[in-house]
Amino acid sequence: MASELKIGERVLALVKGDITQIPADVIVNAANEGLTGGGGVDGAIHRAGGPAIMGDLQRRYGKRRQCPTGSAVVSEAGDLPAKWVIHAVGPRWRGGNFLEADLLWSAYRSAFHMADQLEARTVTFPAISTGIYGYPADKAAPVILSALKEGLEGAEFVERVTIVLFTGGPLAIFEEALEAGV
């Protein structure tokens, strides 16, 4: 199975692991609209990064912070092995007829664009919306891979994007989609 795709001199990679343990310039978080921390990847990032992440979000965006679905915001990374955390909000799966694919694509492209503006060379992404938000991995993978491939094709600074999948089942699904040439 394919675990990497070369896009010119740039690389789109897939790995199984814990996103909080993989060094990168930017770690992307699967955030909620209120940027309040939560479960899944979001909870893991906030636990591993410590209170500095939430403190920076409050300083930057206020106590009533909001990030609409399909958008992203940035914070410092606290104790994570990164310079920045980009908090991207993906859609909740509602059957596929409520612009979920467009919103998921937008969340990835917003986060990618922000990482490139930060002059990040390396970026790690989780499979946003495929956990607690219920987006089926087989439907999400082509959307996610195409958004990141397009981002890498036009990137100024980003050289390597790694999608970090916590378990093997989704990894195999993403590998199949990558091999299919998404």
| Per-residue pLDDT band at 168 (split at 50, 70, 90) | confident
pTM: 0.96
pLDDT, one tens digit per residue, over 7-32 is: 999 999 999 999 999 999 999 999 99
Distance in angstroms between the alpha carbons of the first and the last residue of the chain: 14
Burial state string for 109-132 with b = 16 or more CB within 10 A and e = fewer than 16: bbbbbbbbebebebbbbbbbbbbe
Q: Domain containing 77: what range? A: 4-179
What DSSP designation does 21 have? G
- The pLDDT mean for the chain works out to 95
pLDDT, one tens digit per residue, over 100-129 is: 999 999 999 999 999 999 999 999 999 999
Q: Examine the pLDDT at 157 and tell me if it is beyond 80.
A: yes
- 3 state SS of 119: coil
42: domain CATH number? Answer: 3.40.220.10
Catalytic residue among 25, 42, 56, 116: 42
- Count: domains in the chain: 1
| Per-residue pLDDT band at 63 (split at 50, 70, 90) | confident
Q: Examine the pLDDT at 76 and tell me if it is beyond 60.
A: yes
Alpha helices in the chain (DSSP H): 40-49, 51-61, 100-117, 137-154, 168-179
Give the per-residue pLDDT at 1. Answer: 52
Catalytic (active site) residue 56:
no
| Per-residue pLDDT band at 64 (split at 50, 70, 90) | confident
Contact in structure between 62 and 5 (CB atoms under 8 Å): no
- 3 state SS of 15: strand
